[in-house]
Copies of this chain bind each other. A is one copy, B any other.
């Protein structure tokens, strides 16, 4: 019986999520520390190391109970070496994250992209339910993604696999995207995109509950749109149908190519739940091949913010056991 524990770390621009998790993926404890971006982020590995060892003292357990650390990080990463080429929000340039954490903690470390780890987390303990062919889509401020094929993260040739937010939904006339292109899925299906489309539609048609909200608050959010849609507001339903047409088409096209078993929708927008799933399934089934649609289930992520640290632990555990 394996009594070891593992550490999951999910490094963001403002906070670092941390968790101690056992070999069955059960959460022992989780907490957060602030991300210290001073001096180009050079103190972060020491902060993580101290936080882990203080937590083990607090739990009255020896450090030897820890078998390894899985880390999710943003930016351009070499997943094999755990080297960060560039992480703008943190300040890292050419930062040997894996090597520094291994030296400071004395534990084996694996580093991967945060969206990929969220996909692994959902596969292991969440909505993926063990499905080894899984597409995770995160609908938040942006649109992110992670692909699991045969139980492994698909990294691609230079670590860019899973960038489904930058699938082009509108080849011409689309809104500008942060990536420099226009018409990306992210400009439509992110929380920001949904709010933008709703605002445009309301400006054309004021006969809507959304219109009253826009006048009262001065702006609309994706949550407003789903709330009004649940009240059968016609414009809100049109916005959701428009968004789900583009999202369903993009996911169906991808599914025809990779034939996933589970398609897990996470991120803030996924809290809309059933109404999102219903519209999404409608469009997905129109564009996926029948056998592909039969094989795939679209479902809402269940791990929330814990997906990253749980996926990180799955990855380090798998690496150690190899």
Binding site for B on A (CB under 8 A): 76, 131, 133, 145, 147, 149-150, 152, 154-164, 166-168, 171, 179-181, 245, 249-250, 252-254, 256-261, 286-287, 289-292, 294-296
Known contacts A249-B168, A253-B250, A257-B147: A289-B160 contact under CB 8 Å: yes
Contacts of A253 in B (CB 8 A): 167-168, 250, 253-254
Residue pair B133, A295 in contact (C-beta under 8 Å): no
10 residue pairs from A and B, CB less than 8 Å apart: A133-B156, A147-B257, A150-B154, A157-B295, A158-B294, A160-B256, A181-B287, A181-B289, A253-B254, A254-B257
Interchain CA distance A287-B167 in the complex, whole Å:
8
Total identical chains = 2
Which of B150, B161, B286 interacts with A258 by CB under 8 Å?
Answer: B161
Which of B156, B162, B290 interacts with A260 by CB under 8 Å?
Answer: B156
Known contacts A249-B171, A250-B253: A258-B156 contact under CB 8 Å: yes
Residue pair B256, A166 in contact (C-beta under 8 Å): yes
Known contacts A149-B149, A157-B133, A291-B158: A164-B257 contact under CB 8 Å: yes
Contacts of A152 in B (CB 8 A): 150
Known contacts A145-B257, A295-B156: A252-B287 contact under CB 8 Å: no
Which of B131, B287, B295 interacts with A160 by CB under 8 Å?
Answer: B295
Residue pair A180, B133 in contact (C-beta under 8 Å): no
Which of B158, B252, B289 interacts with A179 by CB under 8 Å?
Answer: B289
Nearest-neighbour CB distance to chain B for A100, whole angstroms, equals 25
Which of B157, B168, B257, B286 interacts with A167 by CB under 8 Å?
Answer: B257
Nearest-neighbour CB distance to chain B for A286, whole angstroms, equals 8
Known contacts A249-B168, A253-B168: A157-B287 contact under CB 8 Å: no
Nearest-neighbour CB distance to chain B for A319, whole angstroms, equals 15
Residue pair A180, B261 in contact (C-beta under 8 Å): no
Which of B160, B250, B258, B260 interacts with A147 by CB under 8 Å?
Answer: B258
**Which A-B residue pairs are the 10 nearest by beta carbons?**
A156-B259, A157-B261, A161-B259, A160-B259, A158-B295, A167-B253, A157-B295, A168-B287, A163-B256, A133-B157
Taking CB as reference atom, which chain B residue is nearest A283?
A: B171
Interchain CA distance A294-B295 in the complex, whole Å:
33
Residue pair A154, B258 in contact (C-beta under 8 Å): yes
Interchain CA distance A254-B287 in the complex, whole Å:
15
